Amino acid sequence: LLDQLARLPIPILVDCTASDQMTPVYHAALSRGIHVVAANKKPLTEPFATYTETRSLARRAHRSYRYETTVGASLPIVETLAQLVRTGDRIHLVEGSLSGTLGYLANELTSGVALSQAVLKAKELGYTEPHPRDDLSGKDAARKALILAREAGLQLELSDIVVEPFVPESILAHDALPEFFDALKRFDAEFDARIRGLKAEGRVLRYLATVDLRGEKPTLRVGPVGVPAEHPATRLRGTEAFVAFTTKRYAEYPLVVQGAGAGGAVTAAGVVADVLALSQGLRGR
Amino acid sequence: LLDQLARLPIPILVDCTASDQMTPVYHAALSRGIHVVAANKKPLTEPFATYTETRSLARRAHRSYRYETTVGASLPIVETLAQLVRTGDRIHLVEGSLSGTLGYLANELTSGVALSQAVLKAKELGYTEPHPRDDLSGKDAARKALILAREAGLQLELSDIVVEPFVPESILAHDALPEFFDALKRFDAEFDARIRGLKAEGRVLRYLATVDLRGEKPTLRVGPVGVPAEHPATRLRGTEAFVAFTTKRYAEYPLVVQGAGAGGAVTAAGVVADVLALSQGLRGR
């Protein structure tokens, strides 16, 4: 199939799966001169050596490997960061609310909805994975943080990220949904007290990813944070995502990109944009 | 000179002037196979026929014409809009604070500084043109609004934009700086009353550009606006710029890009980014 694809004028492999088996396929494609456009986070969060191999294979073959939609759907986040790095800027801090689902939950909880109710509603609206723990664990946000960290030049692994789940691990351990929701319900009061405590301090709950390159050793953290009123993340509504890049050039105020960061339409549009950018570049425009 | 340039492997004409004489140079370059990267707004705000001729010349010659820095320096604004259009989104509203200088003034005035003092300080800090009226007239913001409107597909001219200057025309008419500042000073009290009036209503003064495509006939407006507290423009600090795109895809909440939108370092970086994006595209990555 790849050999046939390679005969097209501009062959592009578009990966819209969430499979962790795609790296060998990418390698086979790139070595046949096929470009890769991916909405799939898994190959980008493989061990660093594999990640590097894919990218250098693309470089050696003079082929594109684009994956804008892996973070924030079609919001211009990956390419903006790549461009800062490419033009010699120095990244100090990347901070973002990268999970539309957890952003939605944080908003619901802040407006007084009980935790178990908010998760149930999010599930009914189709915002969560089939089992909501896959969102609440923070692992998806961690993958996105790793993609950004690697784009910023850091040689890190998923295991280097400090991930604090949205709710305690003991709740996430429940495989069966009824038990899972029961456990959430027993946690409602504690979570509510936490939200009230934050409010009393003028803070708002957010689930943030932070890539901090300011210290001697870069740190990656994903977890719930009580952000102060002046923080850009307090303004997020609905399932909005945002990323703020603080850099040498954007030192006083960060470069901020904000908007709907999840959903079929915006992700599909982002994939199309990657394909078009690639083919337009090749035609010299 | 252009003939010599055309012999380079990837010849690019980089226009960092603010000259209104560049269109013939672009045409000569493009027809010789030379790409154009521009930080110059003037050729993009020429009569629509000329603007279209330049763009179709580039298309026919399979050459790039990139100008990301003409709006918001290196913030990803022009390319983000182009990508929304390219991928079939429908633009409803483009709203932005496109002048770092007027944004700075609006902030100073809101914090209680008198108009004439704020303009004097902005001039001393190098934020304004040699004669501050070139900023206060709103013409620069109007040019940026036109560039965005045309990118959104509108066949409009500079004269189609309703431009309300930051201060009355009678003040802008003063050629000599001492008389100009005297006139500003006589206007201080009136402007102060206006700011207080807005504050009483919970509003903040901003100088906004609005490209509205929701009605039967698209409207372009540039001028001072009292924006309500929940408006994204209220959050701008210092010389920050922002643009919000409300589209069919980003209907509930707009796609927002915000950050330092003026200054030598970020503009130079944006020009370099355009050059790199162009040459990387040509090498097929």
Q: Do B283 and A63 touch (CB under 8 A)?
A: no
Best B32, B249, B276 member to test A by mutation, with max A CBs in 10 Å, is B249
Rg (CA), chain A: 20
**Residue B32 to residue B29: CA distance in whole angstroms:** 5
C-alpha–C-alpha distance, residues B25 and B15, integer Å: 10
Closest chain B residue by Cα to residue A83:
B273
Contact A265, A72 (CB under 8 A): no
d(CA A119, CA A108): 9
Q: Which chain B residues are Cβ-neighbours of A249 within 8 angstroms?
A: 74, 260, 265-266, 269
- Name the residue of chain B whose CA is nearest to A246's CA: B259
CB contacts, 8 Å: A59 with chain B = 285
B116-145 burial, b at 16+ Cβ within 10 Å, e below that, comes to bebbbebbeeebbeebbbebbbbbbbbbbb
DSSP state for residue A240 in the 8-state scheme: E
3-state helix, strand, coil in chain B (%, to 5): 45, 20, 35
Q: For chain A, give the percent of residues with pLDDT over 70.
A: 98
Do strands A12-15 and A35-38 pair parallel, antiparallel, or not at all (unpaired)? parallel
Whether A167 shows a pLDDT value over 80: the answer reads yes
Nearest chain B residue (CA) to A88 = B269
Mean pLDDT to the nearest integer, A76-85:
95
> Inter-chain contact B253–A237, Cβ cutoff 8 Å?
yes
Q: With an 8 Å Cβ cutoff, are A256 and B252 in contact?
A: no
Q: CB B260 to CB A277 under 8 A?
A: no
Residues of chain B with pLDDT under 70: 281-285
Which chain B residues have a beta carbon less than 8 Å from that of A63? Answer: 284-285
pLDDT of residue A229: 86
CB-based contacts of B130, cutoff 8 Å, min separation 6: none
A158 to chain B, minimum CA–CA distance in Å?
26
Three-state SS string over A67-79 comes to CHHHCCCCCCCHH
**Closest alpha carbon to B213 in B264, B154, B257:** B154
CA distance B57 to B26: 9
Could you tell me which residue, A265 or A202, shows the higher pLDDT?
A: A202
**What's residue A97's pLDDT?**
96
Q: What is the mean pLDDT of residues A84-97?
A: 96
How far apart CA B130 and CA B115 sit, in angstroms, is 17
**In chain A, where does DSSP find H-type helix?**
2-5, 23-31, 48-60, 78-86, 100-110, 115-124, 133-136, 139-151, 169-172, 177-200, 264-282
Name the residue among A63, A83, A238 with its Cβ closest to that of B285: A63
pLDDT band of residue A285 (cuts 50, 70, 90) is: very low
Q: What is the pLDDT of residue B283?
A: 58
On chain B, the residues whose CB falls within 8 A of the CB of A240 are 253
Strands B35-38 and B12-15 turn out to be parallel
pLDDT over threshold 90, residue A277: no
**pLDDT value at A15 more than 80:** yes
Q: List CB contacts (< 8 A) between B252 and chain A.
A: 238, 260
Please tell me which residue in B144, B199, B217, B248 is annotated as part of the active site: B144
Cβ separation B253–A272 shorter than 8 A: no
Q: Output the pLDDT for position A82.
A: 95
Q: Which residue has the tokens 């977890």?
A: A223
Q: What mean pLDDT comes out for the span A100-115?
A: 93
Each residue's pLDDT tens digit, A195-220: 999 999 999 999 999 999 999 999 99
Of A79, A238, A254, Cβ closest to residue B252: A238
pTM of the predicted structure, to 2 decimals: 0.93
Q: Containing H/E element for A284?
A: none
Beta bridge partners of B8: none
- Shortest CB distance from A285 goes to which of B58, B74, B283? B58
Please state the length of chain B: 285
Q: What integer pLDDT is reported at residue A70 of this predicted model?
A: 95
Mean pLDDT of chain A, nearest integer:
93
Give Cα separations from B268 to B38, B166, B238 (angstroms): 11, 28, 20
Task: Tell me how far apart the alpha carbons of residues B136 and B146 are, in angstroms, rounded to a whole number.
Answer: 17
Contact B259 A253 (CB under 8 A): yes
Task: Output the six-digit token pair for B145.
Answer: 């609004």
Q: What is the mean pLDDT of residues A167-174?
A: 94
**Interchain CB distance below 8 Å, A88 and B269:** yes
Helix axes A264-282, B78-86, angle to 10 degrees: 100
Is the CB of residue A15 less than 8 Å from the CB of residue A37? yes
Report pLDDT for A282: 66
Mind telling me the catalytic residues of A?
144
Residues of A in contact with B29 (CB under 8 A): none
Nearest Cβ partner for B87 among A58, A83, A276? A276
Q: If we measure between CA atoms, which residue out of B158, B154, B120, B151 comes closest to residue B20? A: B158
- Nearest residue of A to residue B250, measured between CA atoms: A260
Cβ separation of B272 and A88 shorter than 8 Å?
Answer: yes
Q: What is the separation of C-alpha B79 from the centre of its chain, rounded to a whole number of angstroms?
A: 14
Burial of A29 (0-12, 13-18, 19+ CB in 10 A): buried
CB atoms within 10 A of CB A223: 18
